[in-house]
Structure 1
């Protein structure tokens, strides 16, 4: 299985990882129902069997519930500490940077016996401290040997520069910036984030890479499924009959390519994401069922042609106007 370097850290990860917000015990808003641990175990096992070697969590996913559930599943699958890469995030909301160091013990305990390979600042807003102060606190954790690398999430190009500069004072590279990227969300190409990431050697981690299900084609094929989605999810992701109509040409092209490769629509959408931007972009789709993780892992085995990649990019631009 081909791996990619996480920024310039020396940490190697699979191009597709597994996001674990769904393991939050129903605590991450109303997006996901609570999953029994047995189902989480099956999801993580399917990911591992498919070649996924990297798992992403966060403090605010169920106030640590996702971290604990992920650790338990990895342990039950027979995974040894160091055998996979594990990342998590510190929540800045209403806190000062002091809590970065105060709460690391909880992150370590929740994920034990797996080390924190990547610790990220979950957002560039909400904290009572400056970005530089937050990043400095993260650097202290690296220097203390409590985490392996530092990343950020939802940072702009300028904010990435600030984080990079502060970490450089400690001789530490900025590993990553976790932002929304998909065939239906390509703002990194115009807001400076992609250019800055490439210049600084920072990996961009794409979250909601399937646009909350819109890029699987299932909602287009059966619109009755839309009404079954939680209202908050529909509102925040813009899933509606109008958006489904607008994106149908892209889904039809994805389906044609998927048929040619013996793959699913979602797999081709993920394969495009980790192909079009080169090694700069990796993705963390979530999974609430084992076959979701199996499909995500299978995307790493798809090799799109230059023509297929270009055509999807063109259609993506057209339907996003």
Structure 2
């Protein structure tokens, strides 16, 4: 039985495991996606995360395909027993030429943009409401997706977080969105969102969806305290570091079909020079305690008190089974101590 939890300060109850879908429509066909969704649902995972720009990497032809696949599966299912999370994209991140719904090219992430994006997502999903609607990444200048320091020289004009939350408020009033969240955010962004919600009566964020894994634990610095005090739940994505923490890329291997094999150039975070040694060190710990590296990595993420739900993704049913089972791994205190020793020597090789 998968444990359930209230997400942040909201009344939204979710399982501690969430099914990520960003391969649906890309590496996975509609049939593949439906098989994964059925298997996850049978295992008690009724929390599904998608986005208007999935599958990743996004292209003008593929954007929105994942939501359509989730929507075709959702037909005939008990909608009130399924939590659908989606996200609205913004400027940057290879979005040139991408159009979703009725929006203009460029995706400024202003009020009109967010409302139109949500309405287009609802149509693709074939539902009247989205349980958790998230801003996929900030419109403003922030270090993200492998950048690890704030660069003042990159400052630019951007839509304010207040305007974005006002758009979310409209969607909540209209019944199109139940709860709101952020993704790829900073401690400042969470604090600002909470302040704006309290001051102007706007929706309070229930969650933040950020990367968290053995290779990237930066959430622990600043964001952990911020989310604890503001009662915001972490939806931890990439718990296996794009597959690096399965061990399949050790010794320079590039297995066919692996995401780093196919799309590694687009994800510099997991190509940094300190990663192979760190993976080897964690693999040794896993072996010492009779675990697979996957079990160690997922068990670690699931053990963190600030992780509300771990987002897992897979391209095969066997991978999905291993991920679900791995999230249930309970690590002994000695294994946790060994992890901390490696982290002290090799902190955050993939920030």
Q: TM-score, normalised by structure 1?
A: 0.86
Note the C-alpha offset of 1:308: 2.4
Partner of 2:57: none
Deviation readout 1:255-304 (Å, 9 max, x if unpaired):
333x25xxx421331121121x2154422121111122212221343222
Counterpart mapping for 1:1-321 below 5 A: 1-23=2-24, 25-26=25-26, 33=27, 35-61=28-54, 62-75=62-75, 79-93=77-91, 94-95=107-108, 96-113=110-127, 115-125=129-139, 128-168=158-198, 169-170=200-201, 172-190=203-221, 192-220=222-250, 223-225=253-255, 229-230=261-262, 232-233=264-265, 236-239=268-271, 243-257=275-289, 259=290, 264-275=292-303, 277-320=304-347
Q: Which runs of 5+ in 1 are unaligned?
A: 27-32
Distance in structure 2 (CA, Å) of the matches to 1:114 and 1:245? 48
Cα RMSD over matched residues?
A: 2.5
Note the C-alpha offset of 1:73: 2.9
Partner of 2:97: none
Distance in structure 2 (CA, Å) of the matches to 1:99 and 1:213? 33
Structure 1 residues 240 and 179, CA gap change in structure 2 (3 angstroms): closer
Q: Is the 8 A contact 1:67 1:110 kept in 2?
A: yes
Q: TM-score, normalised by structure 2?
A: 0.79
Distance in structure 2 (CA, Å) of the matches to 1:268 and 1:274? 10
Q: Is the 8 A contact 2:302 2:328 kept in 1?
A: no
Distance in structure 1 (CA, Å) of the matches to 2:263 and 2:89? 25
Distance in structure 1 (CA, Å) of the matches to 2:331 and 2:227? 24
Q: Secondary structure at the match of 2:122?
A: helix
Q: Is the 8 A contact 1:50 1:298 kept in 2?
A: no
Q: Which runs of 5+ in 2 are unaligned?
A: 55-61, 92-106, 141-156
Distance in structure 2 (CA, Å) of the matches to 1:241 and 1:164? 37
Q: Higher relative contact order by CA 8 Å / sep ≥ 6: 1 or 2?
A: 1
Structure 1 moving runs of 4+ over 4 Å: none
Q: Secondary structure at the match of 2:171?
A: helix
Structure 1 residues 300 and 211, CA gap change in structure 2 (3 angstroms): closer
Q: Is the 8 A contact 1:136 1:167 kept in 2?
A: no
Alignment size in residue pairs: 305
